[in-house]
Structure 1
């Protein structure tokens, strides 16, 4: 599994032709690590040894995929937390040693998947020199957005600080990665459909979140959502019910008998987002549903206007960011099915 990842597309055409894909120069290897992962420190464990590195990378949405190895025994540490990135290391061959949450270490072997949020905890690894890794670099913010969208809350640092192995052998996670890489087209080294690319990005984040939480003992279905105070849950209900009216957050707070500041603090603490961001997402969800159910003759302007949208340019930008396509594309797809 993943044997041909970032080497060939599904048709057997070579990927990343004409790019720097290997190096024996430490400056090139370190520049690759800083760009693809984050600023970090590396040192060979055999003094004076040169790397024999594999350096292959491309992106699916905001996720950076890389096929990588130093090619010599190397320690990497001092990963920069300000970069805000999560690293997933999928060992393809050889062995890599990583820290666990309890302070011990673990040696991952072929088929093992390890995750660490470098924005929340320290990280180091030791590659044995015979290893090959297929890595993912994922912004922490993207994982928070995924958790909020699918489960209604953002897990606290009890989850993000967990450094652990969440998959072994021929796991569903590795099968998903294999599918994702086979979806890349060699012609432009990316997935040709923005909508499919967005969906694959979302699925990768969701499956990682599920596996991470499961191995951490966190039930995402009941998680922190039930622990939120009643006014937060009531505000969510009102925002969902009134999304089509484009209500003001201050009006929602007043209806609940609390200040807008208190509502904002409650959302930030228990949901990891602002009330405005939550309402924006619910309005966009409602707009998409309206577009998907629109009768013939309706336009994006008429549908969006009826839901309180005035600045259609800004709305389109937010819509594309959330759904991977424009409102016009959603509406055309609707009419093409009629």
Structure 2
């Protein structure tokens, strides 16, 4: 599994033809690391050693996939937290040493996957020189958006600061990566279809989130959600059940006999998002369901108007950002 990742597409055609895919120049290696991961420092463990590096990278949605090795024993550290990126190291051969809690470290072996949020905690690694990795670079913001969309809250640093190995052998995670890399198309240097890319991006972020949480002892279904005060949970219920009414946050707060400010502070503390963002997501989800269930003769405008939308340009932009397609495309697909 993954032996040919980023070398060939699903048809056996060569990926990244005409691109620089290997180098023995440290400056080229460092430039690749900065572009693909974030600014960091590298140091060969054998004085004066040149790299024999593999440097291949393709984007799938907002995620960068890279097939990488230094080709000589190397330490990398000083990963820039301001870049806001999470790195997942999937070891294909050899071994790479990573930090865990405190002074503990772990050597990832073939089939192991290691995750670290470089925007929340420090990171270093030591590659043995015979290693090869399929790495993923994922913006922290993208993971937050996935958590909010699927679970209604954004986990805190009890998740993001955990550095851990979460996969081994023939796991569902590795199968998903294998599916993704087989979906690449050499003709486009990517997947080519933005809708499929968006779906794959979502699956990867969700699968990573679930593995990360499970190995951190965090229950995404009941953990942080059940800890929220009653008024936050009641506000969520109202927003879900009455999304088509386009209630304002002030109206919801008044119904719960609290201030809009208290409601906002409760959402930010226990959900990591604003009540407005939660409401926006519920309204868009409801709009999508209505489009998929539309009767003959209904239009995007009529369906959206019935759900309280007035600014159709802003609605379309928000819909496209959330679902990777326009409302019109959803409606057309439902009728095809």
TM superposition score normalised by structure 1: 0.97
CA shift for structure 1 position 102: 3.8
2-structure distance, mates of 1:312, 1:13: 43
2-structure distance, mates of 1:50, 1:154: 43
CA shift for structure 1 position 107: 0.8
Partner of 2:292: 292
2-structure distance, mates of 1:267, 1:20: 47
Task: String of CA shifts for 1:194-226, please: whole Å, max 9, x gaps.
Answer: 222111111111111111111111122211000
Deviates more, 1:296-305 or 1:309-318: 309-318
Partner of 1:221: 221
1:259 and 2:259 are equivalent in the alignment: yes
Partner of 1:183: 183
CA shift for structure 1 position 192: 2.7
Partner of 2:95: 95
User: SS of the counterpart of 2:210?
Assistant: helix
Partner of 2:121: 121
Partner of 1:45: 45
User: SS of the counterpart of 2:242?
Assistant: helix
Partner of 1:193: 193
Task: String of CA shifts for 1:223-257, please: whole Å, max 9, x gaps.
Answer: 10000001111111111122112111111111111
CA shift for structure 1 position 117: 0.6
Deviates more, 1:142-151 or 1:129-138: 142-151
1:65 and 2:65 are equivalent in the alignment: yes
Matches within 5 A, 1:223-242: 223-242=223-242
Number of residue-to-residue matches in the alignment: 336
Cα contact 1:49–1:72 (8 A) shared by 2: yes
Task: String of CA shifts for 1:262-304, please: whole Å, max 9, x gaps.
Answer: 1111111111111111111001001001100110111111111
2-structure distance, mates of 1:131, 1:89: 11
Partner of 2:270: 270
Structure 2: 5+ residue stretches without partners: none
Partner of 2:2: 2
Shift >3 Å, 4+ stretches: none
CA shift for structure 1 position 146: 1.3
Partner of 1:130: 130
1-structure distance, mates of 2:304, 2:19: 44
User: SS of the counterpart of 2:54?
Assistant: strand
2-structure distance, mates of 1:101, 1:170: 26
Partner of 1:209: 209
CA shift for structure 1 position 173: 0.9
CA shift for structure 1 position 308: 1.7
Deviates more, 1:306-315 or 1:96-105: 306-315
Deviates more, 1:112-121 or 1:168-177: 168-177
Cα contact 1:101–1:161 (8 A) shared by 2: no
Cα contact 2:52–2:70 (8 A) shared by 1: yes
1-structure distance, mates of 2:291, 2:109: 48
CA shift for structure 1 position 152: 2.1
User: SS of the counterpart of 2:14?
Assistant: coil
Task: String of CA shifts for 1:144-174, please: whole Å, max 9, x gaps.
Answer: 1111222222211111111110011222211
Root-mean-square deviation over aligned CA pairs? 1.1
CA shift for structure 1 position 137: 0.6
Partner of 1:313: 313
1-structure distance, mates of 2:335, 2:173: 36
2-structure distance, mates of 1:163, 1:101: 7
1-structure distance, mates of 2:301, 2:101: 52
Cα contact 2:152–2:278 (8 A) shared by 1: no
Cα contact 2:97–2:126 (8 A) shared by 1: yes
2-structure distance, mates of 1:133, 1:120: 23
Deviates more, 1:147-156 or 1:94-103: 147-156
Structure 1: 5+ residue stretches without partners: none
